[in-house]
Structure 1
């Protein structure tokens, strides 16, 4: 195993390092409320506003997948909270994998997570365009659709380049605003719930286990972001205390809204109509109150929510390469900060996400959102698997914090559950997604060879 020298976790961006940033009025560390909003804002991004329609073809058995997924996400959240307490540094999964298994494992985690972030941004933009189509007639024009998707990606990137102060402000406001449509549908939908709208329990041709696994693989996209506070630990005040709390609180809040909102949409929109819907929450509000005003209002709020999620994911997309670049595993340009934000990471991410968006729309718009979601499902599980394996390594090697034996057993069980959960999601993502994800992942091996050779 490669011997790794870990920087002092209490010191971030010390003078003289590549990542040093003098701060200033545009750079500010996040407290517990903003860190929680970052977690919730990234979890409750655009996925929940489109996913009820994406999993409707599997039937209401997808609600079972949602419940299982929630339990797995909470296990992951607790594991990340434990790891962040031990290693409160910017980088999250990259830091944990590198500390436990050396440079190559750390690089694979950073590379895979970086892929997840910019592919997720492309998927979020696709979902946002579906709700923009409620407000503007874009659906018939490929050029207008592409232009709208690119605009929705570049606006949050510009907010990030303005500094962490503005990132936190946008994240807090968008998180508050996104609660309005979700609570409206989640609570109000219970009064308009009609069991006849639910459709068949198992609509697909595969078995029950296959349907649960397949729908859970799509639904995982809606839980990407549980690691947000851990990835940005260097920008959080008192990270040993606040990262774990923000991770658990954000995941619990998102899970409650997810389950209530999905059940409400299933019960208010007829199954046949839901399968074809591009804006299921708008359709649910229109069904509840009649007319189109409710759906238009929800579409506006959903767009605000998705822009907030793109804002948070753009920040995360720059943080992991920043941490790896400080250790010489990514090009040095990724380690430069301006106003508290790694500018190169932001710019490269938005360019790659834009190119992927254009490619998927020109290759054929059918199933664009689902195909992008399944790729991120696979690439996200790589750092999740490495992080949970790192936690098991720390516990079994005696390198974890000294705790009582019952606490040690509990942490080991949580890590095993999170590891098994992540492995199950790889199987559920499907052959095509694994194939494309592996191509993305293996492309990074050449990058690692070049960077490691130069470092040596």
Structure 2
């Protein structure tokens, strides 16, 4: 039975859904406290960096049809070992992130309905989320595609409403002074850039399920670029509206977008943002439930995980990867996992970005005549800039975060050598 493939606009919605999450509802106040209205310039800087990295993913993605994304690019450019490390870190990080999103949804729901805020109810809600999403994905791409598209469009509505109404309440005076107390604090730009950059993470997920897409070599590069431009426009407009409405008062709020919308729309604004937060986290859970198992599938298809994990059911779903990812994420969800995720996110994300940027130069030498759906302009300039700035951002991480992140790579070593030995036997 031939499985259903994701169409072009479903790929775009998958990308948008995988990037826009609950974080953007909470970022404006933190950015305002660090660097003031200049956070808009920081957001623009991050957008340009993400775009440069996206160009690298778009060119590399147009060369391959296989699942895996950054794992496939690293493997083909630098060999099995580097590819496996990138793939394993990607899968592990997504499992932990999936768990954290589910706990985040339960926590947000408990904040709205106090009766659901106990630890026992949190675990019940987390269990229901994982089980429902596992069933949806086990039933194949067709059902997932419909639910994912509806959820993504629904999560965008609060942003559209806030921006559409808020733009008429912007006060130019709220954008001054540009920096807190009118003075730039050394290092504040880097701190804000690292924080706001993580609002964009998730775009690398698109290539993970390339084999589940219609004509991925043509559609994936275009969908990736459209996704980033769309997300960037939403973020910049949302941040501009929040600052324009609240000014420096934004820094003193705990729920900045909700506070800004409440100021201009009263209880309606509060309700919309509260609902938007749940929809946003819920939609992220849906995207994670699809992408996370496919990270494991990509490794299994390349014989880097046990062969049984590459098996699919009659709906074309990789059922073992879905079951294993769900069970592990559920166990992490019961214990929380927030601190661990925060500690490894910096290194794990850039372990995908940096090899992908480097792979472009390698592919242009190894595969100069291969057809490319998208080719980065200006030769190696953009990949080199993306690489340098990525390393600079990575250097902003705390030593403890780096140690834990690299620790995850060390954990992968015995699994690699075990499978590599079995592969050679």
TM-score by length of 2: 0.88
What's the counterpart of residue 305 of structure 2? Answer: 330
| Residue 373 to residue 54, structure 1, CA distance change in 2 (3 Å) | farther
Instruction: Measure the CA separation in 2 of the matches of 1:387 and 1:121.
Output: 23
Matched, 1:282 2:258: yes
Which of 401, 406, 409 is matched with 1:441 structurally? 409
* Match of residue 383, structure 1, among 352, 356, 360: 352
Matched, 1:212 2:189: yes
Counterpart selection for 2:69 from 92, 98, 101: 92
1:379-417 Cα deviation digits (max 9, x unpaired): 0110111111111111244546379xxx77624222212
Change (3 A) 1:243 1:146: same
Q: Secondary structure at the match of 1:357?
A: helix
Question: What per-residue deviation string (whole Å, max 9, x for no partner) do you get for residues 263-300 of structure 1?
Answer: 222343465665552x433332222112x343123322
Quote the offset at 1:209 in angstroms. 5.8
Contact 1:328 1:455 in 2 (8 A): yes
Out of 438-447 and 338-347, give the one that drifted further: 338-347
TM (norm. structure 1) is 0.82
Cα 1:331–1:52 change in 2 (3 A) is farther
Give yes or no for contact 2:208–2:298 (8 Å, CA) kept in 1. Answer: no
Please give the per-residue CA displacement for 1:22-57, whole angstroms capped at 9, x wherever unaligned.
43xxx3101111111111111113332233345444
- In the other structure, the counterpart of 1:82 is 59
- Report the equivalent of 2:216: 239
Contact between 1:318 and 1:334, CA under 8 Å: does it hold in 2? no
- Decide which moves more: 247-256 or 116-125: 116-125
Unaligned 5+ segments in structure 1 are 1-21, 362-367
Residue 388 (structure 2) aligns with: 420
Shift of residue 253 of structure 1? 0.5
Please state whether the residue corresponding to 2:370 is helix, strand or coil: coil
Shift in Å, 1:443: 0.8
Stretch of structure 1 that moved more, 213-222 or 329-338: 213-222
Displacement of 1:154 after TM fit? 4.2
Paired residues of 1:47 and 1:127 also in contact (CA < 8 A): no
Query: What is the Cα deviation at residue 196 of structure 1?
Result: 7.1
Partner residue, 1:8: none
Give, in whole Å, the separation in 1 of the partners of 2:379 and 2:188.
30
From the superposition, tell whether residues 57 and 274 of structure 1 become closer, same or farther in structure 2 (CA, over 3 Å): closer
Matches within 5 A, 1:46-195: 46-60=22-36, 61-129=38-106, 131-137=108-114, 141-194=118-171
Aligned partner of 1:341 in structure 2 is: 317
Give the deviation of 1:214 after TM superposition: 2.5
Q: Indicate conservation of the 8 Å contact 1:97/1:386, yes or no.
A: yes
Q: Is residue 296 of structure 1 aligned with residue 271 of structure 2?
A: yes
The answer as to whether partners of 1:45 and 1:124 remain within 8 angstroms in 2 is no
1:5 counterpart residue number: none
1:311 corresponds, among 283, 286, 290, to 286
- Within a 5 Å distance, the mapping from 1:384-399 to structure 2 comes to 384-397=353-366, 399=368
Q: For 2:187, what is the secondary structure of its paired residue?
A: helix
Q: Could you tell me how far apart the structure 2 residues matched to 1:299 and 1:226 are? A: 25
Partner Cα distance (2:104, 2:29) in 1? 11
Q: Could you tell me whether the CA contact under 8 Å between 1:335 and 1:342 is conserved in 2? A: yes
Unaligned runs of 5+ in 2: none
Partner of 1:7: none
Partner SS state of residue 401, structure 1: coil
Out of 34, 44, 51, which is 2:10 matched to? 34
1:265 paired residue among 242, 259, 269:
242
Say if 1:151 and 1:378 are closer, same or farther in 2 by CA, change over 3 A: farther
**Corresponding residue pairs, total:** 419
The runs of at least 4 aligned residues of structure 1 exceeding 6 Å deviation read 195-200
2:229 counterpart residue number: 252
Q: Which residue of 2 aligns with 1:222?
A: 199
Separation (CA, whole Å) in 2 of partners of 1:446 and 1:111: 12
Higher helix share: 2
Secondary structure in structure 2 of the residue aligned to 1:379: helix
Contact 2:348–2:405 (8 Å) recurs in 1: yes
Contact 2:32 2:250 in 1 (8 A): no
Per-residue CA deviation, residues 219-263 of structure 1 (Å, 9 max, x unaligned), is: 333212222332211111111110111101111111100111122
Structure 2 match to 1:432: 400
Kept in 2: contact 1:39–1:226 (CA 8 A):
yes
